[in-house]
């Protein structure tokens, strides 16, 4: 992997549409994929503390064990790296129509390891939540859930209205937090 040491951005599960300027890793050898590897296997064949930006668009819902996936993201990322994860919201038909999806996630899927009072926070490496939002399709019908979210908040929409007015995707940005030690 020495030939990729200078690349500071990675596109995990990039598929055939790898983001420009990234190292693309995917289970399948699509054109443009730099590393063919199953992200369910650990450790990933990537260096520690290499990446400043991590993209994982529509991949986390396919992973066997999300905590292990997040541990590997933490390992390959530098301190303060931004991690951008996009996944279908559980109310989206896209979440359910693909039989390879293992998980159907809520807008706070990250909370069990980002919030210090949750049960996985002590077992997981450090991440800080920067943002998490859901988006809706551009259909005129989606004026209603946007209004509900604005008036009552996303949590109320998700709990009471998400199956009546489904979302499309969850966009989450996390920041990697590592303990910096002075090795002098």
pLDDT band of 114, cuts 50, 70, 90: confident
**Domain-located, residue 163:** no
* 77: in domain: yes
CA-CA distance, 43 to 21, in Å (whole number)?
A: 23
Has residue 158 been placed in a domain?
A: no
Mean pLDDT in residue range 92-100: 95
The Cα angle at residue 35 between residues 172 and 30, in degrees rounded to 5: 85
**Partners of 23 in beta bridges:** 10
In a domain, 147, yes or no: no
Give a yes or no: residue 184 inside a domain: no
Instruction: Report yes or no on 72 lying in a domain.
Output: yes
- Residue 128 CB contacts under 8 Å (≥ 6 apart), including other chains: 114, 174, 175, 177
pLDDT confidence of residue 184: 37
Tens digits of per-residue pLDDT, 152-180? 999 999 999 999 999 999 999 999 999 87
Range of the domain at 129: 2-135+168-177
**Number of domains composing the chain:** 1
pLDDT of residue 179: 81
- The whole-number pLDDT of residue 171 equals 97
- What is the tens place of the pLDDT at every residue in 30-64? 999 999 999 999 999 999 999 999 999 999 999 99
Q: What is the mean pLDDT of residues 19-39?
A: 96
* Assigned domain for 154 exists: no
Q: Does residue 101 fall inside a structural domain?
A: yes
User: What secondary structure does DSSP assign to 117-179, as a single string?
Assistant: TSTTTTTS-EEEEEEEEEE--S-GGGHHHHHHHHHH-HHHIIIIITTTS---EEEEEEEEE--
**Residue 106's domain is classified under what CATH number?**
3.40.50.150
């Amino acid at each position: 992997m020495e030939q990729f040491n200078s690349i500071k951005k990675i596109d995990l599960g990039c598929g055939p549409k790898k983001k420009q300027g990234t190292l693309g890793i995917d289970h399948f050898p699509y054109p443009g994929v730099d590393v063919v590897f199953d992200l369910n296997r650990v450790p990933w064949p990537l260096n520690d503390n290499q990446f400043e930006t991590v993209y994982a668009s529509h991949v986390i819902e396919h992973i066997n064990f999300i905590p292990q996936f997040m541990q590997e993201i933490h390992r390959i990322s530098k301190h303060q790296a931004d991690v951008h994860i996009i996944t279908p919201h559980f109310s989206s038909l896209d979440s359910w129509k693909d039989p390879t999806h293992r998980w159907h996630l809520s807008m706070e899927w990250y909370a069990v390891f980002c919030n210090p009072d949750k049960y996985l926070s002590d077992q997981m490496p450090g991440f800080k939540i920067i943002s998490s939002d859901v988006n809706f399709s551009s259909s005129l019908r989606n004026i209603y859930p946007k209004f509900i979210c604005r008036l009552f908040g996303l949590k109320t929409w998700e709990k009471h209205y998400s199956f009546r007015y489904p979302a499309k995707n969850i966009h989450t940005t996390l920041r990697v937090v590592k303990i910096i030690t002075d090795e002098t």
